[in-house]
Amino acid sequence: MHSKHVTAVSAPLHACGHTGPGGNAAVLSEAVLDALPSPTVLLDPDGRVLLTNAAWAAAVETVDDDRMDGGVGVDYFAMARRACGKAVGRRIVDSLRALSRGERAGVAMDYSLEHPAGTHWYHLQASRLNQAGHVVVTHTDVTDRVQAERTSAWRARHDDLTELPNRAGLHELIDAALQRPERLPITVLFLDVDGFKDVNDSLGHEAGDDLLRQLAARLAGRTRSEDTVGRLGGDEFVVLCHDCDTAGAEALAQRFQSIFDEPFHLGGRTARLTASIGVATAWSGDPSGTRSTDLLRDADLAMYAAKRAGRSRMRVFSPELRDAVQQKVLVAGELREAIETGQLVLHYQPIVHLPSGQVDGVEALVRWQHPERGLLPPGEFIAVAEEYELIGLLTRWVLGAATRQAAEWAELGLPLLVGVNVSASTVATGMLVDDVAGALAASGLPPDRLIIELTETTVAEDPERAAAQFAVLRTSGVEVAIDDFGSGFSSLGQLVNIPAGVLKIDRSLVSGAVNGRSQAAAAIAAVVALAEACGMRALAEGVETAEQLALTATLGCTFAQGYYIARPMPADELRSWLRERAATGNRDSDRRASLAVRLSSTGH
Ligand code: C2E
Ligand code: MG
Ligand code: MG
C-alpha cells in the first residue's frame, strides 16, 4: 500500500472539473505542498487524491497496513472510512464534501488512528481552493498534545500521593452514580484517621505520606471491584459503594476499621492507629435528588459525630444530626453577638485556704445571660465556642473582665486571687501569653493575683507547648493550675515536667472519698504527695459536704472549693458573702477542717 507522491508536477487547480495534474493555472505546486510540515493531500470534489506531499508519504509509511494507500489517484474518502472507522470516516467525508460544494468555510476536526506503536491523534484541517471544489487537507499529528491533555485531565482528578481519585474525581464519580437511571442505594463512607496529626508531628511528614500510601493500598484491597476509594485530602478517605444500603455499608465500615488492627510500619517505627467513619446513603435515579456535595457533606457530618463520640467509631447520617449541627451553627452565631454585646457574665466561686480557713481566692466561671433561654452554664456553649473558633474572643473577654474585677476588689481592700479557665485551643494557638499580658496591662492587676487554669487533658494533648507557655507565664509572676486532675489519664512524666503551682483534684475523686471509701482517699493522698513532690499545692474541687471538707484537709490539700463552701456567684453577691462570713467567723465545718489540718500536722 505504499504511496507514490507525485514529483515535480504542477497542479492546475483552477481549471473547473480538472481532476489531474497538467492544467494551465497552477496555483499549488508540489513544492509548495512539500514545504508544509504536516502530511497534506489535495483532493478533487470526489475525494480522489491529486497531490500529496513528502510528509504525507512518510506518514503513510508509518501506518504500515492495508487501510492506508495514500498515493495519487486513490479514493481518499474510502481510505478515511477504512482507517478511521465508519462513524468518524463518515464525518470526515461528509464535511469534506460539504466544503467542496462551498457549503462550509472550512473543516477542522480531531480523529485517532491505531498505529502499530499505539494510538495517534491527528488534527485534520481542510480548505476549499477554488470554484471547482478542490480541497487541500492537512493532517497534523497532535498525539503529544492529546496525551498531555489526557495526563493533565487525569491529574486533575487524581491525588498525586496515592493515585486515587481526588476530591474533583470523587465528586464526578458520585454524581455519575447518583445520575444513573435505575433506582439503587448509593452509599458513601467518609473515613478520617484518628490522631494522624500526631504521626506527622512526631515521625515527620515523610512518615505521614508513607502512612497515607499504605492506608490507600489497604483500603483499595478491601474494596469491591465495582466500588471506588478516593482521597479527599489530608487524612480523609472516601469509599463510594454502588448498590449498597446503609446496613451493607455498616458491615463495610467494620471491615475498613479492621484494616487498622495491624500496625503500620513507618521507617523502622510502628504506629497503631484507628479511624472514625461516617456513612451516608442516597438513591440514584432521581433527577432532582441528592447531589455529590450533599452526600459527601452528610457523610462528613456523620464522621465528625463519630469522632466526637470517641475514636474508632462509626456513625450513620440522620437528619437529626444535621439539625443538631444547624443548632450549633445558630448558637455559634448568637454567641459571637453575645460576647460582643456584653451578654456574658462571670460568677466567682470562693476558694478556701485550708490551713488558715481564709478565702484568699476565687475561680471566675463564665455564664451566658441569654435573652430568651436565661442564664446558661458554660457546658452549653464552651464546646461550641471551641468548635466555631470563638474561644479566643471568649477567653480574651473572660481574662479582661476577671482581671478588671480583681483589680477593683484590690482597690476596695479585698486582695483576692482570681482563677481563669482557658481552653486547649487557646494554648494551641499560642495566644495565651499575649492575651494574659494584655489583660494584666489593661486592668493594672499585679500578675501574682492571676491564676490560669488548664485542664489535665489539655495539658496532656500537647505537654511541650503547654509547658513552654506555662514557663513564660510563671516567669512573669502569673500562677498556673492544672484543673480536673484525676479525670484524665496523663502520665506522671508529663506532670513532673509541667511548671504549675497548683494541682486541682477533680470532683470525681473528692466525691468518692467519703464513708470509708479508703481507695479513693488513698488516691487523694497519693495525688497530694505527687503534687508536693512536684512543688505544687493541692486543691480539692467539688467539696459538697462537711465530711469531704474535713477529709481533704486531713489528706493534706492546701485549698478547697465546692458547693459546701459556696456556689459560684456574681461579683456583688460575693462581697456580701465575704462580709457575712467575716462577721460570723468561719463556718463550723471550716473550723473542723482547719482543726483537722492542725491535728494532722501535729501528728494526732
Ligand atoms: P471547672 O473549671 O472545673 O470549674 C468547676 C465547675 O464545677 C464549675 O462548673 C462549678 O460551678 C462546678 N462546681 C463547683 N463546686 C462544685 C460542687 O461542689 N459540686 C458540683 N457538682 N459542682 C461544683 P461550671 O461553672 O458549670 O463550669 C464548668 C466548666 O466549664 C469548668 O470546670 C471549666 O472547665 C469550664 N469553664 C467555666 N468557665 C470557663 C471560661 O471562662 N473559659 C473556659 N474556657 N472554660 C470555662
Ligand atoms: Mg477551673
Ligand atoms: Mg475543675
Q: How many residues does the chain have?
A: 604
Secondary structure (3-state) at 604: coil
Bridge pairing between strands 185-194 and 274-283: antiparallel
pLDDT at 114: 83
Are the CB atoms for 348 and 569 separated by under 8 Å?
Answer: yes
Q: Whose CA is closest to atom 27 on ligand 1?
A: 378
pLDDT at 18: 39
Are the CB atoms for 112 and 122 separated by under 8 Å?
Answer: yes
Residue with cell 489531474: 20
pLDDT digits (tens, 9 = 90+) for 24-45: 334 556 778 888 889 999 999 9
Are the CB atoms for 415 and 407 separated by under 8 Å?
Answer: no
pLDDT at 552: 94
Average pLDDT value for residue range 369-389: 93
pLDDT digits (tens, 9 = 90+) for 86-145: 899 999 999 999 999 999 999 999 998 888 788 889 999 999 999 999 999 999 999 999
Secondary structure (3-state) at 380: helix
pLDDT at 595: 53
Average pLDDT value for residue range 343-360: 96
Query: Sign (positive/negative) of CA torsion 456, 460, 465, 467?
Result: positive
Which ligand has its closest atom nearest to the C-alpha of 484? 3
Q: Which helix (H) or strand (E) holds 443?
A: helix 432-443
pLDDT digits (tens, 9 = 90+) for 476-492: 999 999 999 988 766 67
Look up residue 75 and give its DSSP letter. Answer: B
Residues of the chain with CATH 3.20.20.450: 349-368+392-601
Q: Whose CA is closest to atom 42 on ligand 1?
A: 421
CATH number, domain 24-147, options 2.40.50.140, 3.40.640.10, 3.30.450.20, 1.10.10.10? 3.30.450.20
Closest among 421, 371, 416 to 394, alpha carbons compared: 421
| For ligand 1, mutation pick of 345, 363, 365, 453 (most atoms within 8 Å of CB) | 365
What's the gap in Å between 567 CA and the centre of ligand 2?
13
Position 10 pLDDT exceeds 50: no
Residue with cell 463520640: 309
pLDDT at 599: 47
Q: How far is CA 421 from the centre of its chain?
A: 28
pLDDT at 65: 64
Q: Which atom of ligand 1 is nearest to 541's Cα?
A: 15
pLDDT at 287: 78
Residues of the chain with CATH 3.30.450.20: 24-147
pLDDT at 64: 59
Q: Whose CA is closest to atom 21 on ligand 1?
A: 542
What's the gap in Å between 220 CA and the centre of ligand 2?
47
pLDDT at 66: 64
Q: pLDDT above 90 covers what percent of the chain? A: 64
Confidence of residue 587 (pLDDT cuts 50, 70, 90): low
Residue 141 C-alpha cell reads as: 499529528
Q: Whose CA is closest to atom 15 on ligand 1?
A: 562
Q: What phi and psi, each to the nearest 5 degrees, are found at residue 275?
A: -140, 150
Q: Which atom of ligand 1 is nearest to 386's Cα?
A: 44
Residue 503 C-alpha cell reads as: 494541682
Average pLDDT value for residue range 341-357: 96
Residue 99 C-alpha cell reads as: 466544503
Cα(first)–Cα(last) distance of the chain, in Å? 117
What's the gap in Å between 493 CA and the centre of ligand 2?
22
Residues of the chain with CATH 3.30.70.270: 157-317
Confidence of residue 213 (pLDDT cuts 50, 70, 90): very high
**Between vectors from CA 46 to CA 43 and to CA 51, what angle results, nearest 5°?**
20
Are the CB atoms for 436 and 478 separated by under 8 Å?
Answer: yes
The four Cα atoms 76, 77, 83, 85 give a dihedral, to 10 degrees, of: 170
Residue 20 C-alpha cell reads as: 489531474
What is the overall mean pLDDT for the chain? 88
Q: In the structure, which protein residues have their CB atom closer than 6 angstroms to any atom of ligand 1?
A: 349, 365-366, 377-379, 382, 398, 421-423, 453, 483-484, 507, 541-544, 562-563, 568
Are the CB atoms for 349 and 568 separated by under 8 Å?
Answer: yes
pTM of the model: 0.64
Q: Which atom of ligand 1 is nearest to 346's Cα?
A: 41
Residue with cell 443548632: 327
Does domain 157-317 match CATH 3.30.70.270?
yes
Residue with cell 463518515: 90
pLDDT digits (tens, 9 = 90+) for 397-434: 999 999 999 999 999 999 999 999 999 888 888 899 99
Burial of 177 by CB count in 10 Å (0-12 exposed, 13-18 middle, 19+ buried)? buried
pLDDT at 452: 97
CATH number, domain 349-368+392-601 = 3.20.20.450
Are the CB atoms for 14 and 25 separated by under 8 Å?
Answer: yes
Q: Whose CA is closest to atom 17 on ligand 1?
A: 542
Q: Whose CA is closest to atom 22 on ligand 1?
A: 542
